[in-house]
Amino acid sequence: MAADRPQSDAETAQLTPSEALAALEWYRAAGVDMAISEAPVDRFAASAPPRRPTVPPPAPISAAPQHSPPPSPGAFPGTAPNADPAESKAIAAAAETLDALKAAMEQFEGCALKRRATQLVFADGNPEAEIMLVGEGPGEQEDLIGKPFVGRAGQLLDRMLGAIGLDRTKVYIANMVPWRPPGNRAPSPEEMAQCAPFLIRQVELVQPKILVTLGNVPTKALFETSQGITRVRGQLRDLTVGSYSLKGLATLHPAYLLRTPANKALAWQDMLALKAAIAPSATVED
Ligand code: URA
């Protein structure tokens, strides 16, 4: 504890040595072990709450139109509801390679998710792979590291793939939105619309034979269905993604499986369906 040196009568008066020692002892007993200034400080005044700023009087109500449009109904916090998906569509269509697409996405400013994210999470795995997995969007770990599915859900995904002899050298992994939605919320419809052209272009450039959707969000978007994942999962279906046709297989999201491990049995059936589809005898090009 420190004390501002008091300018008391006792100090200005001449103290005898024993009075000075007694005063020091009194300070020491109170926990004071140093003097920090010559002048006393009014600590009560210093800790008084700051005065509230003066609130300007309300502007007169005017019939003139407002300049910023109101948020669209259902807009999610932090979204840019008026960003035009046609912009990402044109940018994605112009990319001739995955590298060009990644570079274009790094320059793209039309999705509000980007402003809150640490970095772009483009993809992981083998761009030559016959299997492409699509998740929902990066989480905290993915946002920090810059690769999809590297957190706990990703570790489970690796184990699911490993169970049927696959790993990241044999699959390509991306997400519906490549920037982390704040607080891991689901991407808004606006964000999905802005980012979907990038994912679609990734599929067209990778040209996998099978697309595996992980959970509801990519399944509804890419299977163009309103049916829930529990109805769609496990069945090999014909899909068209952009200008490219392939087989699609939906399965449960590994993050969901971490929360409800009883459903791992269903995911195991889906992994077996995937294994059967990629077996040499399987006619996945049918
Ligand atoms: N969940 C996803 O959908 N994608 C990731 O990359 C990580 C977690």
124 lines ligand 1 (CB under 6 A): no
Residue 154 Cα to ligand 1 middle (Å): 7
Range of lowest pLDDT (65-69, 104-108, 168-172, 190-194): 65-69
Looking at residue 64, its pLDDT comes to 31
Residue 2 Cα to ligand 1 middle (Å): 53
Q: Could you identify the residue written with the tokens 């003097």?
A: 35
Judge contact between 270 and 157, C-beta under 8 A.
Answer: no
The answer to whether position 38 is within a domain reads no
122 lines ligand 1 (CB under 6 A): no
Judge contact between 165 and 181, C-beta under 8 A.
Answer: no
Q: Report residue 163: phi and psi, to 5°.
A: -65, -20
Range 11-14 contact pairs with CB under 8 angstroms and sequence separation of 24 or more: none
The answer to whether position 242 is within a domain reads yes
135 lines ligand 1 (CB under 6 A): yes
User: How many structural domains compose the chain?
Assistant: 1
The answer to whether position 283 is within a domain reads no
Residue 183 Cα to ligand 1 middle (Å): 13
Residue 135 Cα to ligand 1 middle (Å): 5
175 lines ligand 1 (CB under 6 A): yes
Read off the pLDDT of residues 112-167 as tens digits, 9 standing for 90 and up: 999 999 999 999 999 999 999 999 999 999 999 999 999 999 999 999 999 999 99
The answer to whether position 218 is within a domain reads yes
Beta-carbon contacts of residue 196 (< 8 Å; ≥ 6 apart)? 85, 88, 176, 221
Percent of the chain scoring above 90 in pLDDT: 67
Beta-carbon contacts of residue 17 (< 8 Å; ≥ 6 apart)? none
The C-alpha atoms of residue 281 and residue 232 are separated, in whole angstroms, by: 24
Residue 19 confidence (pLDDT) above 50:
yes
Looking at residue 91, its pLDDT comes to 97
Residue 171 confidence (pLDDT) above 50:
yes
Provide the pLDDT confidence category of residue 41 given band limits of 50, 70 and 90.
low
Judge contact between 69 and 80, C-beta under 8 A.
Answer: no
Residue 253 Cα to ligand 1 middle (Å): 9
**3-class SS at 172?**
strand
139 lines ligand 1 (CB under 6 A): yes
CATH of the domain at 117: 3.40.470.10
Q: Taken in order 43, 48, 53, 54, is the CA torsion positive or negative? A: negative
DSSP annotation of 165: T
Q: Please give the span between the terminal C-alpha atoms of the chain, in angstroms, as a whole number.
A: 81
Which amino acid, 196? A
Residue 201 confidence (pLDDT) above 80:
yes
Label the pairing between strands 244-251 and 171-175: unpaired
Residue 190 Cα to ligand 1 middle (Å): 19
Looking at residue 77, its pLDDT comes to 47
149 lines ligand 1 (CB under 6 A): yes
Provide the pLDDT confidence category of residue 44 given band limits of 50, 70 and 90.
low
Looking at residue 76, its pLDDT comes to 47
Percent of the chain scoring above 70 in pLDDT: 70
Looking at residue 83, its pLDDT comes to 67
Best probe residue, ligand 1, of 140, 142, 257 (max atoms within 8 Å of C-beta): 142
Read off the pLDDT of residues 58-104 as tens digits, 9 standing for 90 and up: 333 333 333 333 334 334 444 455 468 899 999 999 999 999 999 99
The answer to whether position 37 is within a domain reads no
Residue 130 Cα to ligand 1 middle (Å): 20
Residue 50 confidence (pLDDT) above 50:
no
Q: Residue range 192-200: average pLDDT?
A: 97
Judge contact between 156 and 200, C-beta under 8 A.
Answer: no
Atom index in ligand 1 nearest the CA of residue 173 equals 6
The answer to whether position 29 is within a domain reads no
Judge contact between 131 and 170, C-beta under 8 A.
Answer: yes
Q: Is the pTM of this model over 0.85?
A: no
The answer to whether position 7 is within a domain reads no
Average pLDDT of the chain, as a whole number: 82
Domain span holding position 136:
85-277
The answer to whether position 91 is within a domain reads yes
If one compares 48 and 260, the residue with the highest pLDDT of the two is 260
